[in-house]
A and B are shown apart, each in its own frame.
Chain A
Amino acid sequence: MKTDDLIGSLVADHANPPASPRRTFAYAAPPALLGAILIFSYVLDMRPDLGDALMSWRYLFKVLVSASIAAFGLMLLFRMTKPQHDPAADIKWLALALAPLAVSLALETLMLPVDRWSASAMGFNPEYCVTLVPLIGLVPLAAALVTLRHGAPQSPTAAGAIAGFAAGGIGAFIYALHCDNDSPFYVAIWYMAAVGIVTLVGAVAGRFYLRW
């Protein structure tokens, strides 16, 4: 094929420009969030003492930790859509996303007697957390991957991982409405394991789905 002929076909295709990542996200995010909330409400209930929990610093930190992961994850997601963006530059932002977790862990080591550490870290039914956070995060992960697909990420694997990180944060944020294990020790182990699972799934998916 002559290069000029190829150009001719590209010009012929120019009338239907693809949607930008931002626009794709604007369409994909609301249904994805709705899907995540529907899955949550189908499988789980809100904790009955949510009002009291909102007065507890441990619970608030749990919400903040999840929100921080989701918010920084989404910010990094948009950076990743640009081919000139080097993912290695984002390590510091990831560290910042986890800063609330570090602060809450430091507080908990000061506040909680050592003999209660292990019981707090294990909580009740951690297997629910590790399976349901990824389940709730699945639809947001799909929306994040579709957004990236409309971009041109330099590293498809890293971009997919960030999509998973953000989606894991969203899953954790919603799951926190139900979960009554509030110790930062528990959050650091089980919530982070759950976010890690979604991150891993995102990385593997991105490696294949986001190649360009």
Chain B
Amino acid sequence: MSDLEDELASWMRAAQAGDAAAYRRLLATLADMLRRWVRRELARQGYEIAEAEDIVQETLLAIHLKRASWDADRAILPWLRAVTRHKLIDNLRRRGRRIMVPVDDVLETLAAPEPEQTLSADALDRHLATLPPGQSQVVRAISVDGLSPTETAQRLSLSEGAVRVALHRGLAALAAAARRSET
């Protein structure tokens, strides 16, 4: 097992045990890895890399929503690779493009994270606008405005439990809206 494998797996295990800081570290590291890989794949196949960040964000969302399908006794890199590949294929197919994504290629490129400046993409914002208002308000307050669930509850005069439920449903709805969209 590589160091990267051990590191990512231990962060995910810690996250599943409730360690928010480990989860943030995991997702930030994955964002960098995914970005490099998605950009390279898009460039290699002759597509604009402008859409890369949208795909990175959608993949992070899928990793988050599907994390229970990782078996903590197994290696995490093959699981990450499979989720990433699934989302890239899904994305390119939706955009009406022919694609061939090599499976075994993913690991090495994933294995060289490189910190990047904060990047932005706009597809999720568009999808956010299609959500029920309660969900989009909560997701926006927590993501864009950077509030905690507690602060969001105060601002929107909701219970904290209601905020957590709306956040979870909102993120799932965001992923579903992205799947339905063409771009």
Find out whether the CB atom of B149 lies under 8 angstroms from the CB atom of A12: yes
Chain A residues with Cβ below 8 Å from B175 are 212
With known contacts A12-B148, A82-B82, A1–B171 Cβ distance under 8 A: no
A41–B23 alpha-carbon span in the complex (Å): 49
Chain A residues with Cβ below 8 Å from B67 are 17-18
Chain A residue at smallest Cβ distance from B84: A83
By the criterion of a CB under 8 Å from any partner CB, how many residues of chain B are at the interface? 49
Chain A residues with Cβ below 8 Å from B177 are none
A81–B66 alpha-carbon span in the complex (Å): 10
Find out whether the CB atom of A3 lies under 8 angstroms from the CB atom of B60: yes
Find out whether the CB atom of B121 lies under 8 angstroms from the CB atom of A3: yes
- Closest chain-B Cβ to A168's Cβ sits at a distance in Å of 24
Chain B residues with Cβ below 8 Å from A83 are 66, 69, 79, 82-83, 86
List residues of A (20-51) whose CB comes within 8 Å of B's CBs.
20-21
Q: Mark A137-151, 1 if CB is under 8 A from B, else 0.
A: 000000000000011
Q: Does B183 contact A (CB under 8 A)?
A: no
Q: Is chain B's interface secondary structure helix, strand, loop, or mixed overall?
A: helix
Find out whether the CB atom of B20 lies under 8 angstroms from the CB atom of A9: no
With known contacts A7-B60, A20-B68, A14–B20 Cβ distance under 8 A: yes
Find out whether the CB atom of A1 lies under 8 angstroms from the CB atom of B66: no
- With most chain B CB atoms within 10 A of its CB, the pick from A14, A15, A151, A154 is A14
Chain A residues with Cβ below 8 Å from B1 are none
Find out whether the CB atom of A14 lies under 8 angstroms from the CB atom of B23: yes
Find out whether the CB atom of B142 lies under 8 angstroms from the CB atom of A9: yes
List residues of A (147-166) whose CB comes within 8 Å of B's CBs.
150-152, 154
Find out whether the CB atom of B27 lies under 8 angstroms from the CB atom of A7: yes
- Closest chain-B Cβ to A19's Cβ sits at a distance in Å of 6
- With most chain B CB atoms within 10 A of its CB, the pick from A2, A8, A84 is A84
A13–B166 alpha-carbon span in the complex (Å): 10
Q: Does A10 contact B (CB under 8 A)?
A: yes
A154–B53 alpha-carbon span in the complex (Å): 23
Chain B residue at smallest Cβ distance from A83: B82
A151–B149 alpha-carbon span in the complex (Å): 27
Known A14-B20, A82-B69; further 5 A-B contacts with Cβ < 8 A: A9-B167, A10-B60, A12-B142, A14-B23, A21-B68
Q: Which residues of B contact A (CB under 8 A)?
A: 15-16, 18, 20, 23-24, 27-28, 31, 53, 56-57, 60-62, 64-69, 71, 78-79, 81-83, 86, 118-122, 124-125, 128, 139, 142-144, 146, 148-149, 164, 167-168, 171, 175, 179
A-B contact pairs, 8 of them (CB 8 A): A1-B120, A7-B60, A11-B20, A13-B164, A20-B68, A82-B71, A211-B179, A212-B62
